Every structure is written in structure tokens, then in C-alpha cells.
Amino acid sequence: MQSAHLYPSARNWRENKPQYGHLIGNRWQDSDAAPIPVTAPATGHDFAWLARGGASEIDAAVIAARAALAGDWGRATATERGRLMQDFATLVLANADQLAWIEAHDTGKPISQARADLRAVARYFQFYGEAADKVHGEVIPYLTDYNVSVVREPLGVTAHITPWNYPAQMFGRTIAPALAMGNAAVLKPAEEACLVCLELGQLMVQAGLPAGALNIVTGLGEAAGAALTRHPGINFVSFTGSPEVGRLVQEAAAIHHVPVVLELGGKSPQVVFADADLEAAAAAVCKAIIQNAGQTCSAGSRVLVERSIFGIFTRLLSEHFAAVRVGVPEQDADLGPLISATQQRRVLDFIQDAQRDGLPMIVQTPIPTQLEHGFFVPPTVFGPVPADHRLVCQEVFGPVLAAQVFDSEEEAVALANGTEFGLVAGVWTHDGARQQRMARCIVSGQVFINCYGAGGGVELPFGGTKRSGHGREKGLMALEELSTTKTIVNYYG
Ligand code: NAD
């Protein structure tokens, strides 16, 4: 493997097709294998190259991480780790415009969404940086002349495999708590979009991160990702992506008995009762499936509407969908393209299947013809959709909403829980007792009442049940997932 500093100058980013390397032990390295082209979803043009890492680069990254734990990073105090993370957050904010521009072109998302994502990265590092030295142990009353303490320790080398829908936010969500607890991390971001992760890696080095505390290897999932999950030198895996790959990740991690946190998406329902503020609910339901072109694990991809208001509510919803502005990132519209031609085809197939099956189309917002080279998909609402239809049961990961109808609270709960997923749910009603009943009966990791936060803020524990995965990210709970305890029993008699 040749050693080269491949980090491109941000100033010539527009002119050149930069080639990005792997960040291993604070050095940029290339791979011998042919690089992977990076395509702009808004135009379909290639504009950068990613290094194609595999087992040997993963091995080098794990060795670098292990060395960091035995060296400066392992010796750093919690306060020092926290300060470094906050310095990094300051650097992210100082470079936010440029980073957001890269993120927007890499993913196709509207520039204001990309800016919000970069602010979220800074917030993750502030939150977990501040928390780093506030995770304390316990003293347990035990037998006479015994002192028993429970101390929290890092897991060791943590592996992180992230998807393409929110590359920047995922970096913050998974790397910040890992570093706060003193782990050394190896990140394998998604090959479809991850330039911002490499740029953030460069800023971490600039912030003073000791070599090997964070390593980033790019490459295909089945090569670099698979090599990481079965590497004997890792102590933990965090994976966000599809349920199918999540299962492979869990199987590979089981070879070495490594704990896994899986976040595998959802089919999240919003339940709208007749007494709700229908205008507020319609606006939120539209936003929850339009955001990031529906490519959000916690997208509100189903709306369950009480029969007596189905007509009026879907009319309100249609008004919101008709007003959705579609455009390339610089136009800062409401909706951008999907990530790739593959995802575009996949989502269009869902729409065609629904039409072929005769599902009523409530509204479809057309895509302007000048955008035909990008991977755009028209925002579409179908309904009522039967509970056993593919559009209700499967994650579409695009701007397609399935509306369902219910007659009673019991039926609403049954429909809400009627898929294999359980990530997030929304409930819209002014009836306080019903709010409580619904929140308790819906099986999911988060329930929003008269609001919908698509995963919510950094402070809120997030994660799924059932096929949506297991384990929790965000909030202080993430620090528990990313650490272990040691019980020390001291007899002093
Ligand atoms: P994916 O699960 O294939 O990819 C997610 C990550 O896993 C990427 O970094 C990828 O390189 C890596 N990966 C792939 N195969 C691997 C393997 N065998 N071992 C280890 N890592 C591997 O997801 P996708 O193909 O990019 O998207 C497919 C579907 O997954 C989407 O349509 C959507 O339904 C779902 N998805 C969900 C999320 C989410 O946030 N929950 C994100 C992206 C995609």
C-alpha cells in the first residue's frame, strides 16, 4: 500500500476530481485496487474518487486503533478527551459552510439540510465532549471489610459501519460517544456518499486527535465492511443500514462474541385522530416523508387516519405535497434526488407496483423536466392502502407515503404495530388519556405526541425494536452501549 497524503485542497475542490484516501493512524493512504467513482445524485456526474479498501486496510486500521489504546489516546484523561472533542466541534462550525457544500453535492440533499446536518455533528461532539468526564462509577454496600466499586471502562476497538443517507450526522452519532468513552474507532462509511466523513477525519487530526484514535477505511460493504465485522481485533460493532446486511453483521460479529448495536430502519406510522389539529398534523406528516427525500430511517412512511376525517385530512395533505419544491442542492428546495440510480429504480418500482395493484393515488408532485438527469422521484401518496400491501409492510426509502384508515383506537394500535418494524411513531390527538394509552401500546423505540421529530435531538435515546434493530444510540444511553463495567471487590480486613 503506497503512502500518500490524498486529502484534497478544499479550494480546488470544484475544479479537480479529488481522490480521497483512507485515514489510518492519522496518515492518508491509498489502495492498490481501482478507486471507486463518486457520483453527484443531482446530476448523475462523477466528481471524485474514493479509495477501495479491503481486508488489508481494515487490518492496518485495527492495528492503528489498538496502538492508540496502548499509547497517548489510552492515557488521555476523560477531561482531555472531552476538551479535544469540543475543540473539534468548534472546527466543524468554523468550516460548516464548506463541509455542508460537500455533503450536499455528495448526497444531493438541499443545502440547508446539509447545513443542519453539520450543526448536528458539532452538537454531537459538544454533547458527548461535555459528558466525557461525567460518567462516574458506583460504590456498592457489601460485606463487612469489603469495598466494592463498579468502574466504567472503554470497550476497546469499536467498529462503525454507516449508511449514505446522513453521512455527516452518522459520523457524529456513532463516533462522538465512542471517543468520549475512550475507545479507538474504525469507521467504514457507505461507498455511495461519505466524503464529508473523510473531511471530518482531517479536522479531527487538526484538532489534535492522537494517531489511531479514529481511522476511516472506505470501500465496498462486502469487502471492507465484511472484513471489519469479522476482524478478531474489534470489541464492538455499530451498524446502521438495511435489515438484510444487519443480520450478516450480527452473524459475523458473533464469530468473536462481539456486541452489536443495529439500527435497521423502519416503517414508522403517524396516527391521526379526528380531534387532532389536522392542519399541524398534515404539515408534519408531509415533512416527515419529504425530509431527505424519504431516505431517513425514521421517516414517517405511513399515516393512519381515523375514517371520519380521511377525506378532509388527505385533502390537506395533498395541498402540502403539491407545494413541495423539488430541486438540486443549490436551489435549496424541499426535496432533492435519491442517492443513486439503483435507489431511484427501486423506489419507482414501488410506485409502479402500487399503480398496477390499483391503489388509489391521492397526490403526486411532478418532477420538473430540467432535473431529468438526476435521480429524482416524484413525492407520492397512496391510500387507503391495505395492511398487507408491500407499500405498508416494506421500507421504501423514498418520498412515498402509504395512508391507512382506521375506525377505533384498538384498530389504530393494531395497524401501527402491524409491520415487522418498530422504530418511531407519531400520535396526533388532544385526548390526554388516549395519548398515554397509545404511547404505551405502540411497540417502537420512540413515540412523538402532537409532534414528529424524525429521530429527535442528540439528547434523546434512539433505536428500534423488532426488525428495526436493537441497542440505543444518542443521549446518555449511547455512553452505556459504548463502554463496559468492571466490578472491583477489595477486602481490607
Ligand atoms: P446497506 O445495508 O447495504 O449498507 C449500509 C452500510 O453497510 C454501508 O456502509 C455498506 O457498505 C455496508 N455493508 C454492505 N454490505 C456489508 C456487509 N456484508 N458487511 C458489512 N458491511 C456491509 O444498505 P444499502 O444497500 O445502501 O441500502 C439498501 C436499503 O437499506 C435501503 O433501500 C434502505 O431501505 C435501507 N437503508 C436503511 C438505512 C437506515 O438508516 N436505517 C440507511 C441506508 C439504507
Strand, helix or coil for residue 355: helix
CATH number assigned to the domain with residue range 10-264, chosen from the 4 options 3.40.605.10, 3.30.70.20, 3.30.460.80, 3.40.50.1400: 3.40.605.10
CATH 3.40.605.10 placement within the chain: 10-264
421-422 vs 27-29, strand pairing mode = unpaired
The rounded Å distance from CA 71 to ligand 1 centre is: 33
CATH 3.40.309.10 placement within the chain: 269-461
- Nearest-5° angle of CA 122, CA 125, CA 126? 85
Ligand 1 pocket residue status of 473, Cβ below 6 Å: no
User: Are residues 421 and 395 in contact, defined by beta-carbon separation less than 8 angstroms?
Assistant: yes
Residues 96-120: pLDDT tens digits? 999 999 999 999 999 999 999 999 9
Ligand 1 pocket residue status of 384, Cβ below 6 Å: no
What class has domain 269-461? Answer: alpha beta
**Rg of the chain over CA atoms, in angstroms?**
23
User: Are residues 264 and 242 in contact, defined by beta-carbon separation less than 8 angstroms?
Assistant: yes
Q: What is the predicted pLDDT for the residue at 17? A: 83
Cis-peptide, bond into residue 384, ω within 30° of zero: yes
Residue reference for cell 469540543? 86
- Give CA–CA dist 292/227, Å, rounded: 30
Q: What is the predicted pLDDT for the residue at 453? A: 87
For the chain, the residue count is 493
Please give the full DSSP string across 248-270, using - where no structure is assigned. HHHHHHHHTT--EEEE----EEE
CA 224 to chain centre: 19
Residues 428-473: pLDDT tens digits? 999 999 999 999 999 999 999 999 986 679 999 999 999 999 999 9
Residue closest by Cα to atom 9 of ligand 1 = 190
The rounded Å distance from CA 174 to ligand 1 centre is: 16
User: Quick one: which atom of ligand 1 is closest to the CA of 219?
Assistant: 11
Tell which one of 186, 245, 251, 295 to mutate to probe ligand 1, the residue whose CB is within 8 A of the most ligand atoms.
245
The three grid cell numbers given for residue 73, joined into one nine-digit string? 489516546
Torsion of CA 233, 248, 264, 352, to 10 degrees: 150
Q: Given CA atoms 72, 75, 77, 81 in this order, what sign does their dihedral have?
A: positive
Encode burial over 269-289: b for 16+ CB neighbours within 10 A, e otherwise: bbbbbeebebeebbbbbbebb
- Give CA–CA dist 329/113, Å, rounded: 9
Tell which one of 52, 58, 161, 244 to mutate to probe ligand 1, the residue whose CB is within 8 A of the most ligand atoms.
161
- Give CA–CA dist 294/303, Å, rounded: 14
User: Are residues 385 and 230 in contact, defined by beta-carbon separation less than 8 angstroms?
Assistant: no
Ligand 1 pocket residue status of 263, Cβ below 6 Å: yes
State which residues of the chain have pLDDT below 50.
1-12
Q: What is the predicted pLDDT for the residue at 328? A: 96
The rounded Å distance from CA 296 to ligand 1 centre is: 12
Residues with a catalytic annotation lie at 263, 297
User: Quick one: which atom of ligand 1 is closest to the CA of 266?
Assistant: 41
Strand, helix or coil for residue 148: strand
- Give CA–CA dist 465/478, Å, rounded: 16
pTM of the shown model:
0.96
Please give the full DSSP string across 72-108, using - where no structure is assigned. HHHHS-HHHHHHHHHHHHHHHHHTHHHHHHHHHHHH-
Ligand 1 pocket residue status of 350, Cβ below 6 Å: no
User: Are residues 197 and 171 in contact, defined by beta-carbon separation less than 8 angstroms?
Assistant: yes
Residue closest by Cα to atom 40 of ligand 1 = 297
Ligand 1 pocket residue status of 395, Cβ below 6 Å: yes
The three grid cell numbers given for residue 409, joined into one nine-digit string? 383506537
The three grid cell numbers given for residue 385, joined into one nine-digit string? 392502502
Ligand 1 pocket residue status of 249, Cβ below 6 Å: yes
Ligand 1 pocket residue status of 222, Cβ below 6 Å: yes
As beta bridge partners, residue 484 has 153
- Nearest-5° angle of CA 6, CA 10, CA 15? 90
